[in-house]
Amino acid sequence: MDKTWNNNAWFLVLPVLVLVAFSAIIPLMTVVNYSVQDTFGNNEFFWAGLDWFEDTLHSERFWAALWRNLLFSAIILAIQIPLGIFIALNMPKRGWGVPVCLVLMALPLLIPWNVVGTIWQVFGRVDIGLLGRTLAAMGIDYNYVQDPLDAWITVVVMDVWHWTSLVVLLCYAGLASIPDAYYQAARIDGASRWSVFRFIQLPKMQRVLLIAVLLRFMDSFMIYTEPFVVTGGGPGNETTFLSIDLVKMAIGQFDVGPAAAMSLIYFLIVLLLSWVFYTVMTNYGQGDER
């Protein structure tokens, strides 16, 4: 759509600016402020320069949490995106099945995150949980409290349970926007199912898939509540992701300086990655409109 050049539009954006300035810029400046200072309590602060940043970048704990989190995000994307596409392709397209599927699939998305954690914590327990009991009865040695691998599997399955529906709903919306004429043309050309998927459905889903990858990456990269409730970051530090580590440091130990420095590095990583995604997305959109 052709847009008119009009700088008065700034007035329409002003309320958002004021609000977000209050809830984003001021807190962010506080973080910057803390990240360059040291304190011994009593509200006395000393200039610390870039020490905290150097400490963070040299700390094994930070790198371990970062790699753990990147690995987690990679696993999540590798499972949820293909699975979501597969389920969306098999969803009913019309009839009573559509609203039933949509409502039931969206259900996990609206459960408070700590309740999601509670549900899986209970579900996986060896003494009272359906999953834990069933696995134990099958002779599988499963205990997410003590075994790191089991803890990882539980957290990953929980996230698949929680968020795959988002990918399904997005892909479903993308598929629903393909006109019947495309399928008819493919039919006349005698296209196989695979080529229909590869040359019609996949390109048409590209845009929603980008949104799905973007949202899933970001949210899995800042995951906090669900693994915190289920494993508390343990066993040991095996499931301590960046956010969990950060909250432990900032609110648990009140190490404000290092926590602030880590926050900024963490935020910069997120910012860089979302900039890459955003550029890809907007460029793709412009190519589409021309």
Partner 1 sequence: MTDPDMTAGMVTPGAATIAQPRQAAALNRTRSSVRLGWLVPTLYIIFLLLPIYWLINMSFKTNQEITGAFTLWPRDFTLRNYTVIFTDPSWYSGYINSIIYVVMNTVISLLVALPAAYAFSRYRFVGDKHLFFWLLTNRMAPPAVFALPFFQLYSAFGLIDTHLAVALAHCLFNVPLAVWILEGFMSGVPKEVDETAYIDGYSFPLFFVRIFMPLIASGIGVAAFFCFMFSWVELLLARTLTTTDAKPISAIMTRTVSASGLDWGVLAAAGVLTIIPGALVIYFVRNYIAKGFALGRV
Nearer to partner 1, 152 or 228 (CB): 228
Phi, psi of 42 (to 5 degrees): 55, 20
Identify the CA nearest to 173 among candidates 101, 113, 111, 112: 101
Radius of gyration of the chain (CA): 23
Name the minimum Å distance from CB 211 to partner 1.
6
Name the minimum Å distance from CB 123 to partner 1.
4
Name the minimum Å distance from CB 282 to partner 1.
8
Nearer to partner 1, 141 or 190 (CB): 190
Nearer to partner 1, 32 or 75 (CB): 32
Q: Are 65 and 242 in contact (CB under 8 A)?
A: yes
| Residue 43 zone, left/alpha/beta (φ > 0; ψ -120 to 50; rest) | left
Name the minimum Å distance from CB 135 to partner 1.
13
Nearer to partner 1, 156 or 208 (CB): 208
Q: For residue 98, give Cα distances in angstroms to 111, 201, 251.
A: 21, 19, 45
Nearer to partner 1, 114 or 143 (CB): 114
What whole-number distance in Å separates Cα of residue 194 and Cα of residue 175?
15
Name the minimum Å distance from CB 3 to partner 1.
5
Nearer to partner 1, 75 or 157 (CB): 157
Q: Are 67 and 244 in contact (CB under 8 A)?
A: no
Name the minimum Å distance from CB 118 to partner 1.
6
Name the minimum Å distance from CB 228 to partner 1.
9
With a CB cutoff of 8 Å and minimum separation 6, the contacts of 56 are: 62, 258, 261, 262, 265
Q: At what angle do helices 130-137 and 113-124 cross, to 10 degrees?
A: 30
What whole-number distance in Å separates Cα of residue 83 and Cα of residue 73?
15
Q: Are 280 and 210 in contact (CB under 8 A)?
A: yes
Nearer to partner 1, 31 or 135 (CB): 31
Cβ atoms < 10 Å from Cβ of 246: 21
Q: What one-letter code names the amino acid at 40?
A: F
